[in-house]
A and B are shown apart, each in its own frame.
Chain A
Amino acid sequence: MKTNENSRRDFLATTLLAGAALAGCGGNPFTPDEVTDIKPSGEMVKLLSVDGEIIEVDKAFLKPVPEMPSVPNAEARIGIPGKKFAMVIDLSRCKSVKKCQSACNHMHHIHPGQNWIKVYPMQESEKTAPYWQPTTCMHCDEPPCVKVCPVDATFKRKDGIVLIDSDRCVGCRFCMAACPYSSRVFNWEEPQIEKEIADKPYSCETSVPQKKGTVGKCDFCPDMVRQGGLPHCVSACPNGVFFFGDILEDSVTNGAETFRFSDLIKDKSGYRLMEDLGTKPSVYYLPPVNRNFPFENNEKA
């Protein structure tokens, strides 16, 4: 495990070192051709080398590491070891700005009109208070969708995330019928994606590119998480509604604030949706009390 975790850091550092080596000897036979013309800018950056030493490199020789290759789909089925992801959605902060939705739609190239994140105007009964409820996939610990899938195209990982292999999905839509949270959407026609992206091999972790005749849904952005980032909805929300984190580390963050997960749920009386169904969601909600915004519904009915 340890070597695995290190390998990425090694890789990054090696790339940088290769850049650093350039500064000394221009005629290095291993130097890629396109970098030979680079002139030192004189601006130096401090970096940490593999040996843990601080080194200085000219900024001009720094090259952005090409997008990390996403993990193969076989590995994506297992998940990130030692993690158990969860999300906390604070309803008192949501005013339906829907930046979460647009970021999600944009990053996953979702078909126009369809949404993986839905923001519901909720009101339990006539006299109770209305509130906004964003829903993602609940990434249930007893996922009804996974139970019914005939071909193991949708699966539950060890880190709690439920994903879809669009290269295997047969499009029977049993999972859509089984999901009580209506979080699954279907690609009824050829997805409208730029050719460049559509031609990429499908990755279970990015859920891109979506494929005609298969099911899609919120994936908790494991590709971002693997890179140490946050799901797109979490970073896109201007009001910090979404918290994401690891239950085993007992911490969740919306990027700006970090809380101890158990304290947050205890102090604010967190709950999950449709607990009575026994699906055991990984998404927790904090009730809409002491709200940041009044409820205003300007949506067309």
Chain B
Amino acid sequence: MEKLAENKIVEDLLPQKFGRQGQIWVVSLLAVCALGFYAYCRQLYYGLEVTALRDYASWGIYISNFVFFVAISLVGSLITAVLRLTDVHWSTPLTRIAEIIAVSAISFAGLIIIVDMGRPDRFYNLFTHGRLQSPIIWDVIVITTYLFISLLLLYFPLLPDLKIMIAFKERNGKWLQKLYEFLGSFWKNKPEQFKITDKAINILSITIIPVAFAIHTVTSWLFATTYRPGWDSTNFGAYFISGAFLVGAGGVLIAMYVFRTHYKLEKYITDDHFDKMGKVVVLLALVYLYFNINEFLVPAFKMKKSEEEHLMGLFTGEFSPIFWFAISASMLIPIFILVFKKGRKPKWAFFAGILVVVGSWFKRFLIVTPTLLHPFLPMHDVPKSYTTYIPTWEEWAIAGGSLAGALLVITFFARIFPIIPIHETIIETDSHEKA
């Protein structure tokens, strides 16, 4: 990083008002959210009837969207915790991006699971009648824990930055000033305070790793604890976690590129960051590919009767276009792009990130629905429409609305708080100078 004066860093990294592009972006996201909200009102009124979900395909894109959200939220623990504990410093400017992706995604994971419920009005039953033996209760517990740890990991490093921002009273305006003061007026940059937060962050970084593993392992168990072909797999926990780190890292690549170009942060999110994140993505994609080979090749070698229909549906049957798209978009093509030095330049890396995220979304769909459409006993004695699953506009609108909502949270966060940690950047620059 080139030498930067402290006030220049502050000036560069303070949150900025939405420009024209920003406004259009926010309005379009709001529009998508509104459509999703309207669709959800319809669903509340008419019931899940408005979806294409039926007795066989009883879980669809809501659940795959849920798995996707949980997956992408794991990146918070990867960047903040794993890299921090292994003393990797280049990722410091990316920690807040990763952490807000985590918080936003895990919140919407919780919301979308309520959307999927037939009786959201009875949500409280999970607490009044909850039974520990159900993996759903495990999921509720670990996801809530993960959300709170992530929020704290977002908040503690923000405290010194809040102090910096409080100083810009006029720039902030009344409301933001109040918010900053509410959140951080007690912070005085005292050494004791730093000592406490440093310790807290260290403890949280260690705790969040098993919790992160738990959220996605438990999510995989929602499937793996059943008997169905395609789900009945001991590989599922590791398979889900490796895929989660991959999609999260892909998401960070996208966010890095967007924030860098939009807020002109080239000095802070450098080409070097893309190069290193690109390498991380290649590694993660290779690991995920390894688990995919395990997941599909081993049962395909045996071709048990119950698995055959399901596997052939993926390889050459009705789901094969999505299957091969997902495999190539989420793993093969990004590996091919990012393995080259040129491919790790910001634009290509951004493109690869998009492929990873989109491919991964469809991959989650393939994990959920095809299995349900290949039950042990053949589909029978049901209306014809029960034997297929093509999501309705309401489902797309709600799923899209939740994705837009997650992006909106990230967008507003970047509007209100510095998306690159100011204080930590100053420290890092100083230590570079001394070194």
Contact B377 A182 (CB under 8 A): yes
**Cα-based distance from A186 to B116 in the complex (angstroms):** 13
Q: Is A187 in contact with chain B by the CB < 8 A criterion?
A: yes
Contact B382 A115 (CB under 8 A): yes
Contact B136 A181 (CB under 8 A): no
Residue of B nearest to A146 (CB): B133
Contact A172 B377 (CB under 8 A): no
Contact B123 A184 (CB under 8 A): no
Contact A149 B117 (CB under 8 A): no
Residue of A nearest to B46 (CB): A189
Contact A182 B118 (CB under 8 A): no
Contact B126 A170 (CB under 8 A): yes
**Cα-based distance from A150 to B131 in the complex (angstroms):** 6
CB of B222 to closest CB in A, whole Å: 7
**Cα-based distance from A176 to B373 in the complex (angstroms):** 12
**Cα-based distance from A149 to B361 in the complex (angstroms):** 27
Q: A147-B134, A151-B129 are in contact. Are A172 and B117 (CB under 8 A)?
A: yes
CB of B225 to closest CB in A, whole Å: 7
With a cutoff of 8 Å between Cβ atoms, the chain B residues found around residue A213 in the complex are: 47-48, 117-119
CB of B235 to closest CB in A, whole Å: 18
Q: Is B125 in contact with chain A by the CB < 8 A criterion?
A: yes
Q: Is A180 in contact with chain B by the CB < 8 A criterion?
A: yes
CB of A107 to closest CB in B, whole Å: 17
User: Which of A148, A153, A212, A274 is B47 in contact with, Cβ under 8 Å?
Assistant: A212
CB of A120 to closest CB in B, whole Å: 5
With a cutoff of 8 Å between Cβ atoms, the chain B residues found around residue A174 in the complex are: 134-136, 222
With a cutoff of 8 Å between Cβ atoms, the chain B residues found around residue A144 in the complex are: 226-227
Contact A171 B118 (CB under 8 A): yes
Q: From residue 110 to 141 of chain B, which have CB atoms closer than 8 A to chain A?
A: 116-119, 122-123, 125-126, 129-131, 133-137, 140
Chain B residue total in the interface (Cβ 8 A) = 45
Q: Is A75 in contact with chain B by the CB < 8 A criterion?
A: no
Q: Is A214 in contact with chain B by the CB < 8 A criterion?
A: yes
Q: Is A113 in contact with chain B by the CB < 8 A criterion?
A: yes
Q: From residue 80 to 135 of chain A, which have CB atoms closer than 8 A to chain B?
A: 101, 113-115, 118-121, 135
Chain B interface, DSSP helix/strand/loop, else mixed:
loop
With a cutoff of 8 Å between Cβ atoms, the chain A residues found around residue B117 in the complex are: 170-172, 213
CB of B379 to closest CB in A, whole Å: 8
Contact A113 B383 (CB under 8 A): yes
With a cutoff of 8 Å between Cβ atoms, the chain A residues found around residue B119 in the complex are: 169-171, 213-214
**Cα-based distance from A241 to B383 in the complex (angstroms):** 25
Q: Is B228 in contact with chain A by the CB < 8 A criterion?
A: yes
User: Which of A119, A150, A173 is B58 in contact with, Cβ under 8 Å?
Assistant: A173
Q: Is A43 in contact with chain B by the CB < 8 A criterion?
A: no
Q: Is A248 in contact with chain B by the CB < 8 A criterion?
A: no
With a cutoff of 8 Å between Cβ atoms, the chain B residues found around residue A293 in the complex are: none
Q: Is A265 in contact with chain B by the CB < 8 A criterion?
A: no
CB of A287 to closest CB in B, whole Å: 17
**Cα-based distance from A54 to B427 in the complex (angstroms):** 101
Q: Is A190 in contact with chain B by the CB < 8 A criterion?
A: yes
Residue of A nearest to B122 (CB): A170
**Cα-based distance from A181 to B55 in the complex (angstroms):** 12
With a cutoff of 8 Å between Cβ atoms, the chain A residues found around residue B46 in the complex are: 189
**Cα-based distance from A88 to B129 in the complex (angstroms):** 34
Q: Is B38 in contact with chain A by the CB < 8 A criterion?
A: no
Q: From residue 368 to 422 of chain B, which have CB atoms closer than 8 A to chain A?
A: 372, 375-383, 386
Q: A114-B382, A171-B117, A182-B376 are in contact. Are A189 and B136 (CB under 8 A)?
A: no
Contact A177 B59 (CB under 8 A): yes
Residue of B nearest to A135 (CB): B377
Q: Is B260 in contact with chain A by the CB < 8 A criterion?
A: no
**Cα-based distance from A33 to B181 in the complex (angstroms):** 77
Contact B131 A113 (CB under 8 A): no
Q: Is B268 in contact with chain A by the CB < 8 A criterion?
A: no
Contact B55 A184 (CB under 8 A): yes
Q: Is B315 in contact with chain A by the CB < 8 A criterion?
A: no
Q: Is B53 in contact with chain A by the CB < 8 A criterion?
A: yes
Residues of B within 8 A of A (CB): 46-49, 51, 53-56, 58-59, 116-119, 122-123, 125-126, 129-131, 133-137, 140, 222-223, 225-228, 372, 375-383, 386
Residues of A within 8 A of B (CB): 101, 113-115, 118-121, 135, 144, 147-153, 168-174, 176-178, 180-182, 184-190, 212-215, 274, 277
Question: Apart from A113-B383, A148-B136, A169-B118, what 18 extra A-B contacts exist at CB < 8 Å?
Answer: A113-B382, A118-B377, A144-B226, A149-B134, A150-B140, A153-B129, A168-B125, A168-B129, A170-B122, A173-B59, A174-B136, A186-B55, A189-B47, A190-B47, A213-B48, A213-B117, A214-B119, A215-B118
15 contacts between A and B (CB under 8 A): A113-B386, A148-B135, A150-B140, A168-B125, A169-B122, A170-B126, A171-B119, A171-B122, A172-B116, A176-B58, A180-B226, A186-B58, A186-B118, A189-B49, A213-B119
Counting from the closest, the 6 A-B pairs by CB-CB distance are A171-B118, A213-B118, A189-B49, A150-B136, A118-B381, A150-B134
